[in-house]
Amino acid sequence: MKILKYLAFFLLLNSFTASEKDFYEKLSDAALLLTKDQVTYDPAYVKILYPNGDVPKNKGVCTDVVIRAYRKLGIDLQKEVHEDMKDNFSQYPNQKRWGLKKPDTNIDHRRVPNLEAFFSRKGETLKVTQNPKDYKTGELVTWMIGDKLPHIGIVTNKKSPDGKRPMIVHNVGAGQVLEDCLFSYTIVGHFKYSN
């Protein structure tokens, strides 16, 4: 009887792992699909609907890649971030960085430091390393470009031309693209989030 219980537990544990893996594969696929859209880099503040609001489809920044990929899987980061910020505003960098006194559903989820705070609070914070094998499909990476520009991208299941690094879907100015850029900037964050 004990063997059956252990076997059932093992099968259940493996089904969670497979399900989680499927989620991150789907997130990678959603990000790759976004690279087919023509998007002009545009960081302008835009009033958008709430929930499920988005800037015009042909515009966006790095955070919009992440937001749009998660939306394809039924997760609205605009709503998720807003709800957490509403209850935990002091845990986010808004007051110090932008001088805000309350959440703003138009922009909060579109700021990398807010996504870093959200993913560290609600997801899983992973180790930052220089080993490409530590970055798995569907994980999120944040960088600091030139010590002043926060940036974010999604690790995909595609490999660099030399097969050594996972490629990233991001938008650093050239639209939503797939690039071999994991170590092109200073990595400052590494996360998993599946809701």
User: Tens of pLDDT along 104-152?
Assistant: 999 999 999 999 999 999 999 999 999 999 999 999 999 999 989 999 9
- Answer whether 129's CB lies under 8 Å from 182's CB: no
Task: Provide the CATH number for the domain around residue 86.
Answer: 3.90.1720.10
- The average pLDDT across 151-165 equals 98
CA distances from 41 to 84, 164, 172 (A): 27, 29, 8
Give the pLDDT of residue 167. 98
pLDDT-derived band at 9, boundaries 50, 70, 90: very low
Mapping DSSP to helix (H, G, I), strand (E, B) and coil, where does residue 61 land?
coil
Does 41 reside within a domain? yes
User: Domain residues for 155?
Assistant: 25-192
Mapping DSSP to helix (H, G, I), strand (E, B) and coil, where does residue 192 land?
strand
Does residue 181 surpass a pLDDT of 60? Answer: yes
Does 71 reside within a domain? yes
Does 123 reside within a domain? yes
Does 166 reside within a domain? yes
Give the pLDDT of residue 7. 42
Closest C-alpha among 62, 18, 17 to residue 41: 62
- Among the residue ranges 4-13, 29-38, 136-145, 182-191, the one predicted with the least confidence is 4-13
Does residue 99 surpass a pLDDT of 50? Answer: yes
Average pLDDT over the chain, rounded to whole? 91
- Provide, rounded to the nearest whole percent, the portion of the chain with pLDDT above 70: 90
52: left (phi over 0), alpha (psi -120 to 50) or beta: left
Does 2 reside within a domain? no
Does 88 reside within a domain? yes
- The average pLDDT across 80-97 equals 90
State how many domains the chain has. 1
pLDDT-derived band at 1, boundaries 50, 70, 90: low
By the 10 Å C-beta count (0-12 exposed, 13-18 middle, 19+ buried), 12 is classed as: exposed
Does 15 reside within a domain? no
Give the pLDDT of residue 179. 98
Does 18 reside within a domain? no
Measured in whole angstroms, how far is the alpha carbon of residue 133 from the centre of its chain? 18
